[in-house]
Homo-oligomer: A and B are copies of this chain.
Amino acid sequence: MQRLERHASFGGWQEVYQHQSEALQCAMNFSIYIPAHSEHEKLPVIYWLSGLTCNEQNFITKAGAQKYAAEHQVIIVAPDTSPRGEAVPDDQAYDLGQGAGFYVNATQAPWSANFKMYDYIVDELRNLIDTHFPTNKIQSIMGHSAGGHGALVIGLRNPDLYQSISAFSPIVAPSQVPWGRKAFTAYLGADEALWQEYDAVALIQSSRAKQPILVDQGTEDSFLKEQLKPELLSEACHNMQYPLKLNMREGYDHSYYFIASFIQEHIAFHAVQLR
């Protein structure tokens, strides 16, 4: 594991590392914010999953989360959104291939050799972080857009690993919207029954989990009606009496300006569950 960047930030350190991933069969970057802490102290971790086209940089440069991570004494880890490199399959579209891993384990050629982002996040990266950084092995998960989908799915399927789940502008029902249907057809094949384990709305309907979920969604998000459809999550949670807090934010769009405006509330939400 090699450190690529280290910057003092709000009394702690914003760092970026590269390591060779077994799950993804390529070199992967991740960023990690480590608050100032006493020598033997162990801290909880929030994982942040970014959306389409992003890498490990977007969140740490634009979200303004470090201040609140420092205040609440939580580590934040933000991985890249897919395997990368010349030896990794890709597609010319922004919403498939590199930069668009969708947090699934692909089963279809040519993707199945590298596109195992679900396993990478849940197992390999988490174990790497717990081995090399001062964590207390208690974690939560959050994300944006396709990364909001990732956070919901990974959190719901692993209630023993993640104390709480939050998302900005998530794709809540990928099986029912163009982004998700295109990606799942490519990565998982045509059998839609196999998509359900990666669909938050479907998972809620069969969930034994009851971690609290916080979702923020801007009303002026250009992807709201066709791709995001938070009302489907709201309905599913209502039917199952699942604890969801959905904030519709008047005037906000899909950008990091939206995320920055409300990241303080998300980190505070997780911090309560992590203690």
A contact set with B: CB distance below 8 Å? 7-11, 14, 61-62, 64, 66-67, 218, 220, 249-253, 255-258, 260-261
Contact = CB atoms under 8 A, between A and B. Distances in A.
A64 B61 contact: no
A270 to B, nearest CB: 19
Contact of A261 (B8, B220, B251): B8
Contacts of A64: 64, 67, 260
B62 A7 contact: no
Contact of A258 (B8, B67, B253, B260): B8
Contacts of A9: 257-258, 260-261
Main secondary structure of the interface of A (DSSP, over half): mixed
Contacts of A8: 218, 220, 249-253, 257-258, 261
Contacts of A7: 252-253, 255, 257-258
Contact of A62 (B61, B218, B220, B261): B61
Nearest to A218: B8
A267 B250 CA distance: 26
A61 to B, nearest CB: 5
A7 B7 CA distance: 28
Nearest to A10: B261
A248 to B, nearest CB: 13
Going nearest first, the 7 A-B pairs with the smallest beta carbon separation are A64-B64, A7-B257, A8-B251, A9-B257, A8-B252, A10-B261, A61-B62
Given A7-B258, A11-B261, 19 more contacts: A7-B257, A8-B249, A8-B250, A8-B251, A8-B252, A8-B257, A8-B261, A9-B260, A10-B260, A10-B261, A14-B257, A61-B61, A61-B62, A61-B256, A62-B62, A64-B64, A64-B67, A64-B260, A67-B260
